[in-house]
Amino acid sequence: MNALDHEDAVAVVGLSVRLPGCDSVARYWSILEAGEDSITRREAAAAATFVPAYGSVPGPGHFDRDRFGIAASEALLTDPQQRLLLEAVDEALGTANVDRAGTTAVSVYAGVGHSDYERWVGSALAGRPGVDAQSLEVTNRGDYAATRVAYRLGLQGAAVTVQSACSTALTAVHLAVQDLLGHGSDLAVAAASSVRVPAPGGYDAPLGGIGSADGVCRPFDAAAGGSVPGDGVGAVVFKRLADAVRDGDEIWAVVRGSAMNNDGSGKSGFAGVDAAAQTEVIRAALDVAGLGPADIDYVEAHGSATLIGDSTEWSALAEVFAEAGHPVHVGAVKGGLGHLREAAGLAGFAKVVLSLRHRRFAATPHFERLPADLAARSGPLRPLGEALDWPAVPGRPRRAGVSAFGLGGTNCHVVLEEAPAAPVTTPSRDPQLLLLSSHHPDALDADLAALRDHLGENPSRIADAAWTTQTARHRYPHRAYAVVRSPDEVAGAFESDRLRIQRGHTTADAPEVVFVLPGIGSHYPGMGAELARRDPLFARNLEAVVAVADPLTDGAVGRSFATEPARPDRGGDRVDLRALLRRDGSAPAPRELRELHLSLFCMEHAMARTLMDLGIRPAALLGHSLGEWVAAVLAGVVGLEDAMAAVARRADLVKTAGPGAMLSVLAAAEEVERYAVEDTWIAAENGPGHCVFSGRPDAVSTLAGRLRAAGFTTLPVDARHPFHTPQLAAAAARLGEDLRHVDLAPARIPIASSVLGAWLDGEVPEPGYWRDHMVSRVRFAAAAGLVLSRHRVLVEVGPGTARPWIAQADPDAVCVRTVRQSYENAGDRQILLEALGELWAHGVEADWPRLHRDTVDRNPEHRNPVRRATLPPRALLRRRYLPDTEPPAGPWPAPGAARQAEPVPETPAQEPPPEEEAPGSSVGQFLAHRFRVLLGLREVHPDDHFFHLGGDSLMGVHLISGLKELTGRAVPSSVVFASATLGGMTREVQEWLATNEYEPEPLDHGSPVS
């Protein structure tokens, strides 16, 4: 296919099915490949013409209402066909990797079959609040099938309900393709649902009818005796081929052309068939595709297995392909599934897509030989009695046609082609971040297990899978992430103990983020060196700041980032405990103080800029000691060059105070300050359970002994100077004088000052501020308290230990670290990806394409170094939503025919009949009862929100009318819904009733949410 053809073709990028015997695309292919018959057969019934055979889908009365925000009461009222349709479209969009929140121009063309469910649920729930003719119509009539899908999934393209009998699904495909080619939308969905609930379990097969007398469907076979009915649901997602190739989508197949017509009056009767019209529609589709009969290898026929239907269709196919010049194979999926009515064409379409994808012809079950009259006029047509490999044809792709002919004469034919060859992603040994979200924690568990198994089976696609989860998946509130270090370590990345902490939950509003900039203490030589070597974005940011630091240190800062420190190797253990406890006998080599301070400054500044480049921008800054200088630069208080010169000068001045030592203590400052000895001071109040002493070495050593004797846990800090003590007073004064010549500006980003324990927001800190910053104790705990009063998500930007201090102050806050500790076996890139994953799990989105853009730069030979991958469908938590009463006598089950019963759930889906309300019940009692009944709740709470729990305008009308019955007053909808919570609604209505007792009834134009 050339580039011009891309503009006139449409790609299949997503698919879902629920068909007899299968509830997934993978299971469908296994049925097709094995030539299985999925029709359910039972013992013959008493009625002589009743055949106990039917193609039933799994769990037709079950539904996951929480996935779509639907109240239990509405789920019960809604036609199961439309519930299944909603699930199918949602799954198909998921396999197409569509983030619905960012893709609004999505059209949906969908059809449903006839259903008697409205009569059943209407009779079972007659008289219940919220159940009337209008609510039953909206939840059951086919008119609302497509618009219900569009509403529940947030699709803003065309939403059209399609109905053309047995060709409904393929007609929907044709319309979706035309929509895309006409640029009516950017994505289009074709879907169909034809399900009878409860399934009739069989059908009447009177002599001369279209039903198979023995319950077996044999399309084009000499023994064919009619169809077997069945149910089916499915959805296909389409995208213009050029767009799909550009976006790196996984393409399942390509639609080259489609056509639709009608028999008109040129047949024996309305239910008759016309070979000429069928011939014309196939030729028209080939013409649209710019192809001829010789370009087609296979046709998926309508294949009704009736004498007239098969003969007519075979004649049409034989005429079209008479000059094909090679065998044209013919198959019909009805042989194994039965006739799925409105969904029949979609089952055939999906079969061809999968056959092209797997390069195999699937056999037609029960086919043995053609009737003599069909065999005599077969020409190149070859029915498929067995599965065959689909060989490549030199010079062209594999191609096939799909037909569907509806009762009434609407005929449709679609020409499909195998997907163009996709660039192969080079397997990556870099760590990869995978993001998963779901609507429920249990579903998330299932999704994690499915993704783990999928990656284990497809290790070469891990990078593609990571890219897909980051950039092309719809987001749900329950979230988890995993970092796969290499294809060999998939299972380890999904271990339960790791995933238990790699989870989060989001709300509608993305949280603001605070950057925490650590001070001296957890630094180490070579920190960030791996990122500097392997991450171009970080490397660029680091290079810019090192260029300022190196002239101040004779290049020592740059050299410190050039050599990666050796990571502990303990058989893959994450942490080296001996190094953690400083019992490994090693000690860091002494470093010049300027180099140490400026290296930490560069590390934090480069990491902060990298996060900001990735779209994670701080709403506030919190610095600890040296980190507050970095915060000042990020907030625009001081320029980068001035700040680094000041930090270098500060380091030099510190040395004038003589030697010192620092001691970390696991206790609150006020708890241990009384143990201080001469020449020791509290240098930092870090948290409710942590502080640091500083002073002269001998004095600090004595203090350590006193504290240990008193039962306190202590650990020396890697520092050789008395930071934040009065010993630095003279040095601090000189620094303050130096800064009088430096231009300082108001903070553009609020800084929680650990000097003042107050906010610096739009203020200019005087030079004296930095004098105090050098000599006074670090009031980090107080500054952190300021931050936690406003924000819940903090990011530690550099090697530090702030996370436990934050957790001590507020266990519900999230503090994410971005740099590994010296004793960790994990790599720098892995830690950064884990940070981005943890932020995402709590609702903070990164600029994911920017994260990968540098990968493209490093691999210029690959236009698309990563592509979207088809991932396992997201799990549903389905439960039964059917009336508990027996359905009324329906039009389809014959006398004596047993229906296929749905299993009774442990707890009924519908609310038990409410007790009668006593006269004079309060407004609150009435509203609580209506909330329970309308929304399907067992318990209610004053904070329950009517619309968040699935309420809609129709339910609101019933609520308002009930209030009128209760009070005799027409309470305006603006009053009722001034607050949509139960408690607020009760209060508003009671206040209105109390203050408007004698006013005439107002004109009410309906609920504001109508």
Closest to 278 in 3D by CA, of 263, 265, 292: 263
> What residue type is 406 in one-letter code?
G
User: SS3 of 582, please?
Assistant: coil
How many other CB atoms are there within 10 angstroms of residue 847's CB atom?
14
Contact indicator for 751, 780 with CB cutoff of 8 Å: no
Contact indicator for 68, 90 with CB cutoff of 8 Å: yes
If residue 504 lies in a helix (H) or strand (E), which one and from where to where? strand 503-505
Q: How far is 482 from 494, CA to CA, in rounded Å?
A: 7
Which structure tokens are listed for 313? 């269709």
Q: How far is 122 from 136, CA to CA, in rounded Å?
A: 7
Planar angle of CA 920, 925, 928, nearest 5 degrees: 150
What are the C-alpha distances in Å from 729 to residues 228, 640, 725?
94, 25, 8
Which structure tokens are listed for 39? 């029709």
Strands in 2-105 per DSSP E: 10-18, 40-41, 50-51, 53-54, 62-63
Where do we find the tokens 């509830």? 23
Cross-strand partners of 778: 684
Closest to 448 in 3D by CA, of 414, 499, 508, 389: 499
Closest to 109 in 3D by CA, of 44, 158, 51, 71: 158
Contact indicator for 491, 772 with CB cutoff of 8 Å: no
What are the C-alpha distances in Å from 955 to residues 484, 771, 958, 961?
47, 66, 5, 10
Please give the span between the terminal C-alpha atoms of the chain, in angstroms, as a whole number: 49
- Which residues, other chains included, contact 882 with Cβ-Cβ below 8 Å and sequence gap of 6+? 61, 76, 80, 197, 198, 902, 909
User: DSSP assignment of 811-840, as one string?
Assistant: TTSEEEE-S--TTB-S-HHHHHHHHHHHHH
Backbone angles phi, psi at 438, to 5 degrees: -150, 170
What positions carry a catalytic annotation? 166, 302, 339
Q: How far is 537 from 535, CA to CA, in rounded Å?
A: 6
Which structure tokens are listed for 236? 């296909």
> What residue type is 164 in one-letter code?
S
Contact indicator for 211, 55 with CB cutoff of 8 Å: no
Q: Can you give the three-state secondary structure of 681-733, one letter per residue?
A: EEEEEEECCEEEEEECHHHHHHHHHHHHHCCCCEEEECCCCCCCCHHHHHHHH
What are the C-alpha distances in Å from 443 to residues 23, 447, 646, 873?
17, 6, 54, 11
Q: How far is 75 from 698, CA to CA, in rounded Å?
A: 74
Q: How far is 804 from 789, CA to CA, in rounded Å?
A: 17
For residue 785, the Cα-to-chain-centroid distance in whole angstroms is: 34
Backbone angles phi, psi at 754, to 5 degrees: -90, 5
Contact indicator for 381, 318 with CB cutoff of 8 Å: yes
Helix, strand, coil distribution of the chain in percent, nearest 5: 40, 15, 45
